[in-house]
Amino acid sequence: MTQLKRTPLYNEHLKLGAKIVEFGGFEMPVQYKGIIEEHNTVRKFAGLFDVSHMGEIEITGPGAKEFIQKLITNNIEKIEPGKIIYSPICYENGGTVDDLLIYCFDWEHFWMVVNASNTEKDWQWIVRHKENEDVQLKNISDDIGQLALQGPRSQEILQLLTPLDLSSIKYYRFQEGEVAGCHCIISRTGYTGEDGFELYTKSNDVITLWQQLLTSGEKFGLAPIGLGARDTLRFEAGLPLYGHELSPEITPLEAGLGIFVDLKSGKEFIGRDVLLRQKEEGLKRKKVGLEMIERGIPREGYQVYKGEREIGFVTSGSFCPTLGKNLAMALIEIGEAQIDNEVSVMIRNRPCKAMVTKIPFYSTK
Amino acid sequence: MYPKNLKYTKEHEWVDLETKKVGITYFAQESLGDVVFVELPEIGTELEVGDTIGVVESVKAVSDIYAPVSGKVVAVNEELLDSPELINQDPYGKGWIIEMEITGGEDELLDAAEYQKLVEEEK
């Protein structure tokens, strides 16, 4: 087993009384005060997350844009300098390598921000598909720290520490500037279903940034948030998590990410043929939401039944603090995917009634 | 954190030999985190030491609860069905899980000092 990594904030987490767990090859805080309290803090006020474990891959050169298009299922033409797009990347068979964000600094300078657990795999995959010298690749994951500031009070908190006018940064856009004296990429993105920002800075600066944000955000109710609440927040917001809703065995179409798979423009990308066929022939299974009718918490891997017939499995499931309900995302046969369809989730060898419901479970809109 | 009047198991249950109530320890609820679901046995269930009594689930974890002694379930804490957080808030009081008619198995239990030592080792 390889040595677990730590982010620059590891000691800060210990000082704050965090419970530490392994995640994506890192020792990360799963909670400080408690998952439910932290979850509610983000929905009501704001929360600060250490997400420095995420990977960053820099892609530069005159061929960068075309190269990225070859890898991603989304259309690179949607991007422009200062803009971000979300996209899955696929294997030839349509299974998912990862889902990631692409940042465009200029037409010859991009970042891919990838899941921590996939950084090495993605890096190998990307390097393998580099064909010529007009593209340069660099894995800068260890040099970059990342914080996520999420929740309705995020802008007010961040505005105290930066001269940039944050109201001018729209959703899925970014600017570079100073925050608490640290040079940052300030990105209006997140993984909680709330408004907020993700800040990238040099690893050396991330401790200063973390401490300054926590201090100035305190009066707004800002608190540090662990990965436990990060998961319940993203789950309520219906956002996929690689290894759960997406995997080498699950295509982005099955995961309900069709709007991020561009099959119309005719642009070629790895996996396109299989995904196009899957779309034309019709999906056999689909991601749905499930709400428990009977008592019980659906968990990842639990089987879903219609009567005596197994129709799929739970990809993520949890008690949802904001909604007070036990919910799941599940991959089930398309013929059973209609809203309000009554199915059952096998919990400890007992079928428990559940109902197909829409995703997201929670939305600020 | 570990009252002297209670007895304990290596699996982090407690039993009060006076009131015959059973629950999970401070350490157990702390390790689990926010408890959000409890599954209770039926009254009248006959249990041997180590049999599964029920299930406690936190946001992240699912954990079986085991019978610390042998005997029969004579009462269950139905308040936990709507307020599972009582297990976090008051693990030795309002967070009790079942009450038993004890028929044996008390000899294997740990006292508070022995249990505390075990917990220190697990930390």
User: Residue A337's domain is classified under what CATH number?
Assistant: 2.40.30.110
| CATH code, A194 | 3.30.1360.120
Of A199, A215, A236, the last residue of a domain is A236
In a domain, A222, yes or no: yes
Q: Judge whether residue A360 has pLDDT over 60.
A: yes
How far separated are the first and last CA of chain B, in Å rounded?
Answer: 15
Beta-carbon contacts of A6 under 8 Å, excluding residues fewer than 6 positions away, are A26, A27
Whether B59 contacts chain A with CB within 8 A? yes
d(CA A96, CA A89): 6
Q: Indicate whether A202 and A351 sit together in one domain.
A: no
The answer to whether the Cβ–Cβ distance between A295 and B37 falls below 8 Å is yes
d(CA A317, CA A323): 13
Q: How many domains does chain A have?
A: 2
In a domain, A192, yes or no: yes
Distance from the Cα of A346 to chain B's closest Cα (Å) equals 15
In a domain, A21, yes or no: yes
What's the pLDDT score for residue A1?
56
**A92: Cα separation from own chain's centroid:** 23
Of A179, A206, A236, the last residue of a domain is A236
Burial bucket for residue A327 (CB in 10 Å: 0-12, 13-18, 19+): buried
Q: And the tokens for A194?
A: 């709330």
d(CA A149, CA A85): 19
d(CA A302, CA A287): 14
User: Peptide bond before A62: cis, by omega within 30 degrees of 0?
Assistant: no
Note down pLDDT in tens along chain B; length 123 residues: 899 999 999 999 999 999 999 999 999 999 999 999 999 999 999 999 999 999 999 999 999 999 999 999 999 999 999 999 999 999 999 999 999 999 999 999 999 999 999 999 987
| Domains of chain B from N-terminus onward | 7-105 (2.40.50.100)
Mean pLDDT for all residues in chain A:
97
Q: What are phi and psi of A314, to 5 degrees?
A: -80, 130
DSSP state of A137: E
What's the pLDDT score for residue B123?
75
Residues of A in contact with B37 (CB under 8 A): 295-297, 319, 326
What's the pLDDT score for residue A110?
98
Residues of B in contact with A318 (CB under 8 A): 59
How many A×B Cβ pairs under 8 Å?
37
The answer to whether the complex's ipTM is over 0.95 is no
What's the pLDDT score for residue A3?
87
Strands (E), chain A: 19-23, 26-31, 47-50, 55-60, 84-90, 96-106, 109-114, 136-139, 144-150, 174-179, 182-187, 196-202, 223-224, 285-292, 303-306, 309-320, 325-333, 342-347, 350-357
In a domain, A72, yes or no: no
Compare all CA atoms of chain A with the CA of B29 and give the residue at the minimum distance: A34
Residues of B in contact with A35 (CB under 8 A): 33-34, 58-60
In a domain, A263, yes or no: no
Q: Judge whether residue A143 has pLDDT over 60.
A: yes
What's the pLDDT score for residue B122?
82
Average pLDDT over residues A317-346: 98
In a domain, A106, yes or no: no
Of A236, A253, A269, the last residue of a domain is A236
Q: Indicate whether A228 and A293 sit together in one domain.
A: no
d(CA A64, CA A104): 10
Q: How far is CA A6 from CA A23, A54, A119, A195, B105, in A?
A: 10, 12, 15, 28, 46
Domain coverage including residue A333: 284-357
The answer to whether the Cβ–Cβ distance between A30 and B34 falls below 8 Å is no
Beta-carbon contacts of A128 under 8 Å, excluding residues fewer than 6 positions away, are none
Q: Indicate whether A42 and A148 sit together in one domain.
A: yes
User: Would you put residue A221 in left (φ > 0), alpha (ψ -120 to 50) or beta?
Assistant: left
For residue A25, the tally of other CB atoms under 10 A from its CB is 16
The answer to whether the Cβ–Cβ distance between A299 and B36 falls below 8 Å is no
Q: Cβ(A24)–Cβ(A115) under 8 Å?
A: yes
Nearest to A243 by CA among A297, A299, A330, A316: A316
Burial bucket for residue A357 (CB in 10 Å: 0-12, 13-18, 19+): middle
For residue B110, the cross-strand partners are B8
Q: Indicate whether A152 and A21 sit together in one domain.
A: yes
d(CA A166, CA A194): 16
d(CA A40, CA A46): 9
Q: Indicate whether A291 and A220 sit together in one domain.
A: no
Amino acid at A65: K
Q: Indicate whether A147 and A46 sit together in one domain.
A: yes
Q: Indicate whether A224 and A305 sit together in one domain.
A: no
Q: Indicate whether A303 and A154 sit together in one domain.
A: no
From the list B34, B55, B62, the residue facing A36 with the nearest CB is B34
In a domain, A221, yes or no: yes
Q: Cβ(A121)–Cβ(A192) under 8 Å?
A: no
d(CA A294, CA A312): 19
Q: And the tokens for A254?
A: 């099955």
The helix/strand/coil state of A235 is helix
Residues of B in contact with A295 (CB under 8 A): 37, 39, 81
Helix segments in chain A, DSSP class H: 10-15, 35-44, 64-71, 119-128, 154-159, 206-217, 227-236, 272-281
Q: What are phi and psi of A277, to 5 degrees?
A: -65, -45
Q: State pLDDT tens for residues A265-314.
A: 999 999 999 999 999 999 999 999 999 999 999 999 999 999 999 999 99
Average pLDDT over residues A158-183: 98
Average pLDDT over residues A346-358: 97
Nearest to A14 by CA among A50, A46, A52: A50
In a domain, A203, yes or no: yes
